[in-house]
Amino acid sequence: MAELIRSGQVADLVLLCLALEAAGLAAWRWRTGRGLGMTTVAALILPGVMLALALRAALTDAWWGWVGLALAGALIAHVADLHQRLRALPGASAQPRD
C-alpha cells in the first residue's frame, strides 16, 4: 500500500475512477436521454482530475510548478462549475432587490 502511494499510482487510480464515472454518466445520458449533459459532467469531473494530477505530481517529486499549475487549474475549474450551477438556479437571472 505504501508503494502505491509513494509511486503516485494512487492518483492514477483516482483518475481511472473519475474516467469511469464520466463514462457511466455519459452512457446513462445516451441510453436514457436523461441525466447530466456532457458539459455539466465535464465541469463536475475536471476539478477532481486536476487535484489528482496535483497529487500525482507532488507524490512523484515533479517540479513544484506542475503542482501549482494543477492546483490553479482545479480552482479555475471549480469556479467555472460553481458559476454554471448558480446560473442554473431558478430566479438566477432576476435582478437583485435593493
pLDDT in tens, 47-93: 999 999 999 999 999 999 999 999 999 999 999 999 999 999 998 76
DSSP state of 60: T
Would you kindly state where each structural domain of the chain is located, as residue ranges? 2-87
pLDDT tens profile 17-57: 999 999 999 999 999 999 999 999 999 999 999 999 999 99
In angstroms, the first-to-last Cα distance of the chain is: 57
> Does the global pTM surpass 0.75?
yes
Confidence band (pLDDT; 50, 70, 90) for 94? low
pLDDT-derived band at 98 (thresholds 50, 70, 90) equals low
Q: Which of 14, 17, 16, 23 has its CA nearest to residue 41?
A: 23
